[in-house]
Chain A
Amino acid sequence: QKEVEQNSGPLSVPEGAIASLNCTYSDRGSQSFFWYRQYSGKSPELIMFIYSNGDKEDGRFTAQLNKASQYVSLLIRDSQPSDSATYLCAVIETNFGNEKLTFGTGTRLTIIP
């Protein structure tokens, strides 16, 4: 069973600070990694994807990937109250040409004004 692990939180961060979210995955063959944001009762919304080792920045968000350590993280700079949500790490698994997205349990983030 291929796993995606996240600390469920809750993680509380003061407004304006950096929020750091972490994720590990078990399938060494995985090559695509995604961070989704999910507000309560809503569908997952893609924030970023990363395929290559290193950092990828998009506005206030930075995704970091380390395939050797099977670790992916998301940094949110200048955290805003609207960033309060559950953040889902997801990995595409491929199996004989079939693909599916496997999610972690999510980390609940609360930004404190």
Chain B
Amino acid sequence: EPEVTQTPSHQVTQMGQEVILRCVPISNHLYFYWYRQILGQKVEFLVSFYNNEISEKSEIFDDQFSVERPDGSNFTLKIRSTKLEDSAMYFCASILARQDRELGTGELFFGEGSRLTVL
């Protein structure tokens, strides 16, 4: 079964350091997302990405965050200068192209997550 893969599974970093989280979405999916979940809290939307540009971003996704699709398979989330409050699980997700389903329908497939710990 196709799956979204994420690396690393766990990263520990010092405050102020740059972190890059990597994701390989499902191959025929064209819409990509990053979500985060602080321990004990809800899963929160960060950003959506389509056609090599950001479609929508949340208030959390400030100038310290960026996303990129550097090649045909990877989708990355970069945090430029990590803060303690960036410690969380970060989930990548993807969904089928719009032409293969109706707007507002379809399953979002999640990766296993990358746990980021900022010290």
Q: How far is the CA of A103 from the CA of B55 in the complex (A)?
A: 19
Q: Count B-side interface residues using an 8 Å CB cutoff.
A: 27
Min CB distance, B89 to chain A, in Å? 8
A contact face: mostly helix, strand, loop, or mixed:
strand
Q: Does B82 contact A (CB under 8 A)?
A: no
Hey, what's the 0/1 contact readout for B36-60 against A, CB within 8 Å counting as 1? 0000011111001000000110000
Q: Count A-side interface residues using an 8 Å CB cutoff.
A: 27
Interface residues of A (CB under 8 A from B): 30-32, 34, 38, 41-46, 49, 51, 88, 92, 94-95, 97-106
With A98-B56, A99-B95, A100-B33 in contact, do A44 and B43 touch (Cβ < 8 Å)?
Answer: yes
Assess the A101–B108 pair: CB atoms within 8 A: yes
Chain B hits for A34, CB < 8 A: 107-108
